[in-house]
Amino acid sequence: MENSPLELYETAYKLHYAENNLKDAVTYYKQLIKEFPESNECGYAVIQLQKIKAHNVAENLNELTSSSSGASTKSPLVPVAVILSVIALVAVGLVFGTLKKSVNKEASRAVLALNTAGKIMRGEYADALDMISRLKKMNSRDITPYELAADIYRKQNEYADARKEYETFFQMNPDLTPTPSELKYMNLKPHKVAPVVTKKVAPPAPKEVPSPARTKKLTRRKKRTVKKRTPPPPGKAKNSKGLFIVDPDSISYF
């Protein structure tokens, strides 16, 4: 049973061109358009349906022409011109619709990305991660949402989760290889900060304040040790012998 848009398109194409079973081919084309409207095969299915409708219109015109003017007067260029006109109109409409849809999608992604950046700048990381998950679903080939999420995790020192964002992206896109810059951010590790050693300074010893009683004792001791020099009494003169070296009373006359 066909489960993918490619399988449905291949089955319808085989019925359309190999087996010329237009009825079943139309059924498969419509099923593809209904179940997988976002796929590339959906656009091809629309073109094939328009071809089938143009073919039916051409056959009806041929029948009308042959019935009115006979088979000999039928022009083979009329159905070809009708088919080409219908195909051109369908192609133009399909291209315009696809382009408009792509522009709207990119505009939505741009608005969501700007809102996400604003949340990150304000530090509202939970809301930013929720918006990033929506960005990832819009385009799985764009690494930008994964880098934004990794940057948020690094700011929160969750380096394992940051590295996981890159690993998830490259697992989903095995044909892509990380650039040297991306490898650098993938291998970032938390910085080891050396512990700050603070020297304990002993508080200064409190100054001993002498008690009032001890202060009085010290003052008394100082007073006692100080000797006052008293002047000699006024009546006593110094022991001086005047002009005589020898006591005159001790001189004997010959």
- Give the pLDDT of residue 96: 64
Q: Which residue has the tokens 């010329």?
A: 20
- Give the pLDDT of residue 90: 72
| Spatial distance between the Cα atoms of 207 and 204, rounded to a whole number of angstroms | 9
- Give the pLDDT of residue 253: 46
As given in the structure block, the two tokens for residue 83 are 């088919």
| Spatial distance between the Cα atoms of 120 and 54, rounded to a whole number of angstroms | 54
- Print the SS3 string covering the chain: CCCCHHHHHHHHHHHHHHCCCHHHHHHHHHHHHHHCCCCHHHHHHHHHHHHHHHHHHHHHHHHHHHHHHCHHHCCCHHHHHHHHHHHHHHHHHHHHHHHHHHHHHHHHHHHHHHHHHHHHHCCCHHHHHHHHHHHHHHCCCCCHHHHHHHHHHHHCCCHHHHHHHHHHHHHHCCCCCCCHHHHHHHCCCCCCCCCCCCCCCCCCCCCCCCCHHHHHHHHHHHHHHCCCCCCCCCCCCCCCCCCCCCCHHHCCCC
Q: Which residue has the tokens 């089955």?
A: 11
| Spatial distance between the Cα atoms of 252 and 49, rounded to a whole number of angstroms | 180
How many Cα atoms are found within 13 Å in the side-chain-facing hemisphere of 159? 9
- Give the pLDDT of residue 182: 82
For each successive 10 residues of the chain (254 residues), what is the average pLDDT? Answer: 80 87 88 83 83 74 58 53 71 68 73 84 89 86 88 89 90 87 79 59 64 63 57 55 53 49
Q: What dihedral angle (degrees, nearest 10) is formed by the CA atoms of 71, 84, 55, 68?
A: -30
- Give the pLDDT of residue 114: 81
Q: Which amino acid is at 200?
A: K
As given in the structure block, the two tokens for residue 94 are 């399909």
